[in-house]
Structure 1
Amino acid sequence: MRFELRERWGAQPLWARWVLTVYLIGFVEGTGSHVADLVRGGIHAYGSFPQVSLQVFFVSLVILDPLTAVLVGLARREGIWLASAVMVLDVSANWWGNRHWLRDDPGQLLWLLPITVFGLFVVAFAVPTHRAVAGAASKLPTALPSA
């Protein structure tokens, strides 16, 4: 497995390795952030959001973020698509759930800047990174099952 992982990463163009690395850092940080929120606040850590659907989504990121990190770390195409879907939902949920700050105190929205920039990065590089990962995967030798 370790050798296969090294081959998968080594087969990527340099720019794709950098993008995958940024994806990994972002999703590992997201995992830590959501785990810390749950440790501090328990299952109701996101109770400040009035919509139950947003609360459930943010709790579910404790599973979705590390799953995404693992798939991206394995240089899997599924990880690229999952990363895009998670970030579109995460950024949208954060902006929707904090929209009251637009009229109350717009300066508070600055804390949404990092997640928004990361989300835009993930989505902007999704298609080219998916193509690079798919192309690299097609060039790898396939292991034959042993008899």
Structure 2
Amino acid sequence: MALAVYVLGFCEGACAHFLDLARGGIHAYAAFATVPLQVFFVSLAVLDPVVVALVAAARPEGIRLAAGVMTLDVTANWIVNWPQLQADPAWLLRPVGLLPITLFGLFVITTAVPVLRTMKEAVVHPAR
């Protein structure tokens, strides 16, 4: 079940980044992000589908990559949204943007170790 949530979440993220790039090109994030953060957000158009492929194949590397990507993604989104949050704390409660990214990131980060443990056990003790 957790793997399905990972796949859906990273598919949504990939689509969002593809749309951003289709609309604004590689400078889609220039209005609000520093160059390193712009590079990161653009790279998510590649990283998110890689996570989807690895997780869909039930590869432990996909879970590790998912946790790393979401740690960086949540951090980057909080950095770019921080000025808006200081001006209007209710900004966090919007159903699109920082809140779902943060919740999905927390889900991935908190489930990564149990999912990896379950994958390892499945290899050691395969179902008969």
Structure 1-normalised TM-score? 0.80
- Displacement, 1:104? 1.8
Aligned match of 1:58: 41
Gaps of 5+ in 2: none
Separation of aligned partners in 2, 1:103 and 1:114? 19
Q: Does 1:109 align with 2:109?
A: no
Q: Does 1:47 align with 2:30?
A: yes
- Displacement, 1:82? 0.4
User: Alignment partner of 1:75: what SS?
Assistant: coil
Q: Does 1:121 align with 2:107?
A: yes
User: Alignment partner of 1:100: what SS?
Assistant: helix
1:87 to 58, 70, 73: 70
Aligned match of 1:7: none
- Displacement, 1:106? 2.2
Separation of aligned partners in 1, 2:102 and 2:49? 19
- Displacement, 1:137? 2.5
Aligned match of 1:4: none
User: Alignment partner of 1:98: what SS?
Assistant: helix
Deviates more, 1:130-139 or 1:70-79: 130-139
Q: Does 1:34 align with 2:17?
A: yes
Paired residues of 2:81 and 2:98 also in contact (CA < 8 A): no
Structure 2-normalised TM-score? 0.91
Alignment of 1:126-145 (within 5 A): 126-140=112-126
Paired residues of 1:101 and 1:109 also in contact (CA < 8 A): no
Aligned sequence identity (%): 55
Aligned length: 124
Q: Which runs of 4+ in 1 moved over 4 A?
A: none
- Displacement, 1:122? 0.4
Deviations 1:43-78 (A, max 9, x none): 101112241110000000001000001000000101
The RMSD of aligned alpha carbons is 1.5
Paired residues of 2:29 and 2:41 also in contact (CA < 8 A): yes
